[in-house]
Structure 1
Amino acid sequence: MRTLSFAHTSVGACLPAGRVAASSAATREWAWGDGSGAGARVCVLDSGVDPGHPLVGPLAGSFAAFDDGGRWSVRADDSGDPAGHGTACASIIRSLAPHCELTSVRILGSDNRGSSAGLLSGLAWAVEQRFQLISVSLSTRHRPVKEALHDLSDRAYFEGVTIVSSAHNSPVHSYPWRFSSVISVGSHSLGGPERIETNPSPPVEFFGAGARIRVAWPGGGTRVVSGNSFATPHITGMCARILGRHPRFRTTQLRHALSLISDNLEGASR
């Protein structure tokens, strides 16, 4: 397996089958059927999404978090993606779940940076809209907002909204990926886009494809990227597939389903 140069990446360890409780073996046919993700509502909380890119397809809506003199609000926004990061993530989700419903909420600027207040505002809005999945390929190290972000993540969990969150590329403490109420994602560099690994050693839960991924980029082009940011939409896309088959699943069931069909589950032949 090729070595990745960032934190929270797969070391190729197997997950003992006994650590995943199941009455019978699970197949990917059971997990997601045709795999289109039809009916799954997904929010991409990022730098925006280029709505005209052919690898992204139509958006259900495009919004942004705005700072109105210290009072944050989320409103309709047609400025697209000034950075490229959100378009890249959206294209990965769409490639795995082509018929899911995608909505963009821009909280990052052209430098791929944003504020913790903007993160809280955008995430709170997405939870209020009851998206089934919120893909968050970013995190904050700003400790004063940790408690508020933790409470919001717990609220999402109990209201049936699943947050799929990227681990930081550096070995630092950041959030929301470290919260138990979210599905946290690191990277692997082995296998294709549908390879899932369950991490037998915390803190990150799952590994998705995160090395040399070709993605959409604003303006109709593509780029090759690497990082936990791009592993996260792979897991989001597969969650959307599962929801297309099992629309009543929530975070607990999605987490269990991902574990059951993981490629590194001992004895698995996928």
Structure 2
Amino acid sequence: MSTSIAIIDSGVNPWHSHVGKIARGIALDINSTGQVVFHNCFMDTIGHGTAIAGVIREKAPFAELCAVKIFYEELKAPNRLLIAALRWVIENNFKIVHLSLGTKCPDTKSLLEDLCQLAFEKKIIVVASARGPRDDIYPAVFETVIGVYWNDKCSEPLLIYHPRSRIEFGAYGWPRPLPGLPRHQNFCGSSFAAAHVTGLIARILNKFPQADVLEVKRILADASQILTMEERENYGR
């Protein structure tokens, strides 16, 4: 059984050895008249989305990956593209949405919250990155979303659970190594912590395909190191 995962990022290079087959790809941009437009050129020119896909593929080789490109020359995009991409993914009923991004724009909060609530009702799992357990960033902070940050005390298998924190999960924040490239020159950060968790969630849904986000959070928490208040002060960044 496959699990469909939409990666909203900089696109994906489907020929990269860490990625393999991409089931589907789409790109969103804003045209000269200010309208959001869709096209099929989802090739990654930055490398970030490809590295994210590689992490997910390693943990969930059975998954059907879809590239949803909203980043171009840099890892920034107008909030309108994020909203349009998330709406498209939900309308197309992917099982998991991976977001290596977020916003603190108050004007965008309600739109994102409504979309994430719709995803929750459709049992679509939204995974989003944040900078730390206290980060007030959307959509990672929503209860309908699984928020993840990079905890640099985590080895790859370790998952940290922060009960009652804004962002509940901390994880390993490095991508797969590239031959000949020193680790410090590769990507790293909360985007990749979220990708590791996305891969784990794909495994969970492969076993429990009807699980909703609350059930997935419980399963992840049961598999995590749960921190006391004192430990949270030491681990939280």
TM range (shorter): 0.7 to 0.9
**Structure 1: distance between partners of 2:190 and 2:80:** 23
Change (3 A) 1:128 1:244: same
Which 4+ runs in 1 deviate beyond 6 A? none
Post-superposition shift, 1:87? 0.9
| Overall identity of the aligned pairs, in % | 30
**Structure 2: distance between partners of 1:103 and 1:199:** 30
Alignment of 1:70-219 (within 5 A): 70-78=34-42, 80-168=43-131, 173-210=136-173, 212-215=174-177
Q: Does 1:67 pair with 2:30?
A: yes
SS of 1:225 mapped into structure 2: coil
SS of 2:176 mapped into structure 1: strand
Corresponding residue for 2:199? 237
Post-superposition shift, 1:139? 0.7
1:197-248 per-position Cα deviation (integer Å, ceiling 9, x unaligned):
21134111111111x443569xx99863321111000000000011111111
When normalised by structure 1's length, the TM-score is 0.76
Letter in 1 for 2:206: G
1:147-205 per-position Cα deviation (integer Å, ceiling 9, x unaligned):
11111111111111110000136976321111111000012234542322211341111
Change (3 A) 1:195 1:115: same
When normalised by structure 2's length, the TM-score is 0.86
Change (3 A) 1:248 1:146: same
Gaps of 5+ in 1: 1-37
Of 205, 218, 223, which residue of structure 2 is paired with 1:256?
218
**Structure 2: distance between partners of 1:64 and 1:257:** 33
Q: How many corresponding residue pairs?
A: 225
Q: What's the Cα RMSD here?
A: 2.5
Higher normalized helix content (fraction of residues):
2
SS of 2:116 mapped into structure 1: helix
**Structure 2: distance between partners of 1:99 and 1:216:** 22
Letter in 2 for 1:152: L
**Structure 1: distance between partners of 2:133 and 2:149:** 11
Paired residues of 1:194 and 1:234 also in contact (CA < 8 A):
no
SS of 2:80 mapped into structure 1: helix
Paired residues of 1:138 and 1:168 also in contact (CA < 8 A):
no
Post-superposition shift, 1:100? 0.7
Letter in 2 for 1:260: D
**Structure 1: distance between partners of 2:186 and 2:132:** 17
Post-superposition shift, 1:109? 1.4
Letter in 2 for 1:76: N
Paired residues of 1:41 and 1:102 also in contact (CA < 8 A):
yes
1:20-52 per-position Cα deviation (integer Å, ceiling 9, x unaligned):
xxxxxxxxxxxxxxxxxx411101000111111
Gaps of 5+ in 2: 229-237
Paired residues of 1:131 and 1:161 also in contact (CA < 8 A):
yes
Q: Does 1:224 pair with 2:186?
A: yes
**Structure 1: distance between partners of 2:154 and 2:135:** 27
Letter in 2 for 1:160: K
Post-superposition shift, 1:114? 0.7
Change (3 A) 1:191 1:203: closer
Paired residues of 2:9 and 2:68 also in contact (CA < 8 A):
yes
